[in-house]
Structure 1
Amino acid sequence: MLIDEIGVFVSSADSTLVLATTDTIASEFHSLGLGSWLSTAYLLSMCAFQPLTGKLSDIYGRRIVLVVGYALFGLGSILCGVGPTLPAVILGRVIQGLGASSMTLCVSLVITDLVPLLQVAFWRSYMNVVMTIGRSAGGPIGGLLADSIGWRWSFAGQAPLLFIAIIIVYFFLPNTKSAPIVETQDRKGRLKRIDFVGSLLLAAAIVLLLGALSLAGQSLPPLDPIILGSVAGSVVLGAGFVVWEVRFAREPVFPPRLLVQRDIITPYAIVALLLGAQYGIIFFIPLYFRISLNESVALAGTRMFPAVLGNTLGGLFGGLLISRTGLYKRVTIAGCVLCTLSYGILILRWRGETGWLETMEIVPGGFGLGICLSSTFIALTSGLDKKKKEHEGVNGQSKDMASATSGFFVMIPLGLILGIAIASSVQVGMVRSLLEEGLSGFEGAAEIFEAVSTDTNRIALLEEPVRVVVVDCYVQSFRWGYGIPLAASAIATLLSLSIREYPLRK
């Protein structure tokens, strides 16, 4: 099963590779304001098509869908590498997102298809390690290529790896499907099984919602008419999707009944909350150290490594523990508690003079998240297994496995975007309020306020005692921002208490 991890590594590395080269790419096209769309377009495309990808893998098999995903990702990589304009590069990112929608999802499904449920957490932990290594390596690789032979090679260079992955997967990976599946050799018959209307409604609803969350508090105020209109549109389309799936769809792309099942919605919510919490913290870390200690961009970026280290160790530990004991509820609770304690410590101790030893205080949060990424997936799959046994009287994989798993992976970017959007909105609002109050007694307060609230690089140029006041205002605002991850992880802890634990298939 390790043969299909090449794509997982490439897609994970790509996410941080783009973050490291966004400014370089956008600056070359003199469109710095559009640079964020290099990540946003990819994310929206990937999330919108993940539910359809899961259903297609049920109809055509995991191997075929995975190979097509690799091919699309490679095509998008080449387009990004040769794109003559920024919109062309963004289009390449959209195509990459289409391919990525199957790359991690299908690998997870292959694991559940081939491995007894008791061992799924163990194999998933290896997948999490590959993802973590990819995310850790992507930034340095992207920066190195951009500084040496040019940023275009950071995209085009992915294509050969994906070509190798296509050959390996096509010849060595079994073309598994969820059971029971009625084989339909007729191409027309298979096409009839695809829920095109439901897929379009769900994709549009996801794009509008995630697009609004991406823009809220960053590019636009949270109550901007565009944001409110997008959210309202998402709600309307979502309602239309539910009506279509319940009343008209022959084979729903994502059965809405899954969202009212406790064994499904609880793991979804925990994953979204914990990922939103960690990325809310990670979003602030480089900025915190650049402002409080005047560190370089590169050095401040390394302060995120303890969280990544914690993710890796937690994923391995959680997977091994669950495979040995078959217990996942207490493991999930422990992971959530670790996250809550870690983020509470940041609020109490990160006050502006944070050394490397104190930086390690984010390790428990990363460790807890790593544990929960393994344990919540097991909670989801075991719940589906239990439901199948109750309804059909037999053990085995549920026919809803692909749909439920695709929903699980949609929760990841949803939590990520929501966590960053809310935490950053709170921090920005607080820093503006604190700066207005703190600078009120200084000459030229309005000009200083405008300078340091729009360009943090100006803070280091300020004279004492103004710089001390500004730094203190930012540090206090970060502590308010950390409150959102703390609240999210606390809610996840309460939800983890409601997980139902079932015996795992051996």
Structure 2
Amino acid sequence: MGVNEPGERSQLTSENASDSRTYRTIDKPADTPESDLLSPTESEFLNAGAGERNHDDSNKQPKQSSIWGVVWILLLGEFVSHADGTITFASAGRISSEFNALPDANWLATAYSLGVCAAMPMYGKLSDIYGRKNILLLAYSFFGIGSVLCGIGVQMWHVVLGRAVMGLGGAGMATLAAIIITDIVPRRDIATWRAYVNIASTLGRAAGGPIGGALTDLVGWRWLFTGQAIFIAMAALLTILKLNISREPHLDNQEEPASSKSKLARIDFIGTFFLSASVVSGITLLDIGGKKFSWTSPYTISLGVASLVLLIAFVLTEAFWAREPIFSLRILRQPNVIASYLVMTFQVLAQVGMMYTIPLYFQVTGRASTSSAGAHLVPAVVGNAVAGIVAGVFIKRTGRYRGLTIVAGLIAAVTYILEYFRWNGNTNWWESLYIIPGGIGTSIAQAASFVSMTSRLEQSDIAMATSGIFLLSQVGVSASITANNAALESEFKNQLQRKITGEGAEHIIERILSDVSYINQLTGNLREIVVSSYVQGLKYTYVFSLISSTLASISGLMIRNHQL
């Protein structure tokens, strides 16, 4: 798999290939011995002090210890930001109930997603203008301030606002970690180092639920956010003290430091507004469509039209008027970029559908508690972490990534096929392990598509391209939850209406559709009807994930192995 196309010779697969990227070194006086100089990465990131930079020989590679010195600083922020999601899921009911606003519990997650999507497009370009370290600290500041707002909120809208501010920071924490890694490691090694970051993210997601539930019961939900603020402050302090980037790789041709005014003039405010507003409108549409408002209501239609019009305005702005676009459309014309975006997006659609429905399945069919149902996700999480490392090692040793983007979706498809045919309401422990291929396939697709995306890009374009792929992933999360929830509820309701008839049937169906705990109280024939109906509804979600995963593999066929 991943064989080069005829006429192409991948530098990745060459024994003596060296990464074409250049690393910063410190200018040395004529009488300074070469051996007295630090390695490129050490001089750039680990308190080597200020100094101008020369382009070093491209055969020089940063030391593993130097890269670890950078990556471990990023891991704490990655852990906290990904733990936040499952922490919020675990405590949302308690938080909203305290303010007598249980129907608005979903806004704790929605507000965060809106903040992420609004800010995600900006971070790549802003880090090009103001520097990776400065913008990473800005992201930490947003996340920390938002956490404090949540912790001290005295009304529900205070907490929701805090969640939106946290989302502004979370977008940058995820994006900047990926961008910094692409800055400091050879492209052949990107997947390996991204896998380590993915482990921190995975551990955060796995630990967030139990930690959130336990702390909510022991000391109250406010300490969940106060604790996150403390950890983010620690991450920011580590960044200030240890992550020393005196000049940025993209400023090589800039002889004089730009003034604050000239930097501000480089920001594409109009394009940023159009893109952020378009995405926020679309995410809001996905969140409320079919729930608070019908899909044909004037409100949802207006949101859809607004999202489309704003997106067209963004494209026109970037194509014709922006001096320095927030996202240059020419990136989409580069080899492998669109295909990589498609692979990542389709695989996110498939994976999120699986992760969203698994706890629901075991809660309904096995009366599992929230923590027990969440524990059934662990096999997929473990498969995700291990496969990421294996994929990274494979790419590093062979230089091939195209084949991985193709087989990843096929591997994940095994999970969705097994779920469809074997998960019929009485799943045992061994059959619960069927989700492992889904985690493996997603991790492989993420690693390979990220390398594929960067394989032919100029270094100056990678930050913007990374913001784009992360934005699409976030949109994919919201789209997947909406699509799977709509498919599940529609078929579940249809099944119940056919099987439950007579006096009081409508009231019973309404309670079944709105409360899982009510389903768990049912017994006898009624419970069998409800469980079988729910299982039938879930089968539509498995089909959705299977189609998405297959489309990811088909998209991988458009990718080609190229010289870096």
- Pairwise TM-score range, normalised by the shorter structure: over 0.9
Identity %: 38
Q: Provide the residue aligned with 2:32 in structure 1.
A: none
| CA apart distance, 1:283 | 1.3
Q: Provide the residue aligned with 2:339 in structure 1.
A: 266
Question: Is the contact made by 2:419 and 2:434 (CA closer than 8 Å) also made in structure 1?
Answer: yes
SS in 1 for 2:562: coil
SS in 2 for 1:157: helix
- Does residue 363 of structure 1 match 2:424? no
- Does residue 178 of structure 1 match 2:250? yes
SS in 2 for 1:383: coil
Higher helix share: 1
In 2, distance between residues paired with 1:228 and 1:257?
31
Pair member with larger Rg: 2
- Does residue 435 of structure 1 match 2:505? no
- Does residue 10 of structure 1 match 2:80? yes
| CA apart distance, 1:262 | 5.2
Match of 1:294 among 338, 354, 367: 367
- Does residue 471 of structure 1 match 2:556? no
Q: Give the alignment of 1:58-73 within 5 angstroms.
A: 58-73=128-143
Q: Structure 1 493/417 Cα, relative in aligned 2: closer, same or farther at 3 Å?
A: same
Question: Is the contact made by 2:334 and 2:456 (CA closer than 8 Å) also made in structure 1?
Answer: no
| CA apart distance, 1:260 | 4.7
Deviations 1:207-249 (A, max 9, x none): 0011111222444333333222111101101111111111111
Q: Provide the residue aligned with 2:220 in structure 1.
A: 150
SS in 1 for 2:349: helix
| CA apart distance, 1:445 | 3.1
SS in 2 for 1:56: helix
- Does residue 207 of structure 1 match 2:280? yes
Q: Provide the residue aligned with 1:334 in structure 2.
A: 407
SS in 1 for 2:455: helix
Q: Give the alignment of 1:27-426 within 5 angstroms.
A: 27-175=97-245, 176-178=248-250, 180=252, 182=254, 184-261=257-334, 263-384=336-457, 388=458, 397=459, 399-426=460-487
In 1, distance between residues paired with 2:252 and 2:498?
65
TM-score normalised by length of structure 2: 0.84
Question: Is the contact made by 2:209 and 2:371 (CA closer than 8 Å) also made in structure 1?
Answer: no
Deviations 1:174-211 (A, max 9, x none): 43343655354311111110111111111101100111
In 2, distance between residues paired with 1:149 and 1:501?
53
Question: Is the contact made by 2:496 and 2:509 (CA closer than 8 Å) also made in structure 1?
Answer: yes
Question: Is the contact made by 2:384 and 2:443 (CA closer than 8 Å) also made in structure 1?
Answer: yes
Q: Structure 1 134/178 Cα, relative in aligned 2: closer, same or farther at 3 Å?
A: farther
Q: Tell me the amino acid that sits aligned with residue 277 of structure 1.
A: A
SS in 2 for 1:143: helix
Q: Structure 1 346/178 Cα, relative in aligned 2: closer, same or farther at 3 Å?
A: farther
Q: Provide the residue aligned with 2:90 in structure 1.
A: 20
| CA apart distance, 1:253 | 0.2
RMSD over aligned Cα atoms: 1.6
Q: Tell me the amino acid that sits aligned with residue 527 of structure 2.
A: R
| CA apart distance, 1:6 | 1.4
In 2, distance between residues paired with 1:215 and 1:178?
41
| CA apart distance, 1:457 | 2.5
Match of 1:456 among 516, 520, 524: 516
Aligned length: 491
Question: Is the contact made by 1:178 and 1:402 (CA closer than 8 Å) also made in structure 2?
Answer: no
In 2, distance between residues paired with 1:93 and 1:302?
25
| CA apart distance, 1:115 | 0.7
Deviations 1:67-97 (A, max 9, x none): 1111221111111111111111111112111
| CA apart distance, 1:167 | 2.0
In 1, distance between residues paired with 2:547 and 2:270?
38
Moved more, 491-500 or 431-440: 431-440
**Which runs of structure 1 show a deviation greater than 6 angstroms over 4 or more consecutive aligned residues?**
none
Question: Is the contact made by 1:61 and 1:177 (CA closer than 8 Å) also made in structure 2?
Answer: no
Moved more, 357-366 or 152-161: 152-161
In 2, distance between residues paired with 1:28 and 1:443?
36
Q: Provide the residue aligned with 1:494 in structure 2.
A: 554
| CA apart distance, 1:281 | 1.6
Q: Tell me the amino acid that sits aligned with residue 477 of structure 2.
A: L
Q: Tell me the amino acid that sits aligned with residue 263 of structure 1.
A: N
Question: Is the contact made by 1:59 and 1:177 (CA closer than 8 Å) also made in structure 2?
Answer: no
Unaligned runs of 5+ in 1: 389-396
| CA apart distance, 1:483 | 0.9
| CA apart distance, 1:444 | 4.1
| CA apart distance, 1:443 | 5.7
| CA apart distance, 1:492 | 0.9
Q: Structure 1 339/217 Cα, relative in aligned 2: closer, same or farther at 3 Å?
A: farther
Q: Tell me the amino acid that sits aligned with residue 470 of structure 2.
A: F
Deviations 1:141-162 (A, max 9, x none): 1111111111111101122222
Moved more, 201-210 or 180-189: 180-189
In 1, distance between residues paired with 2:519 and 2:503?
16
| CA apart distance, 1:31 | 0.8
In 1, distance between residues paired with 2:95 and 2:210?
16
TM-score normalised by length of structure 1: 0.94
Question: Is the contact made by 1:217 and 1:422 (CA closer than 8 Å) also made in structure 2?
Answer: no
Deviations 1:111-168 (A, max 9, x none): 1111111111111110111110111111111111111111111101122222222222
SS in 1 for 2:524: coil
| CA apart distance, 1:46 | 1.2
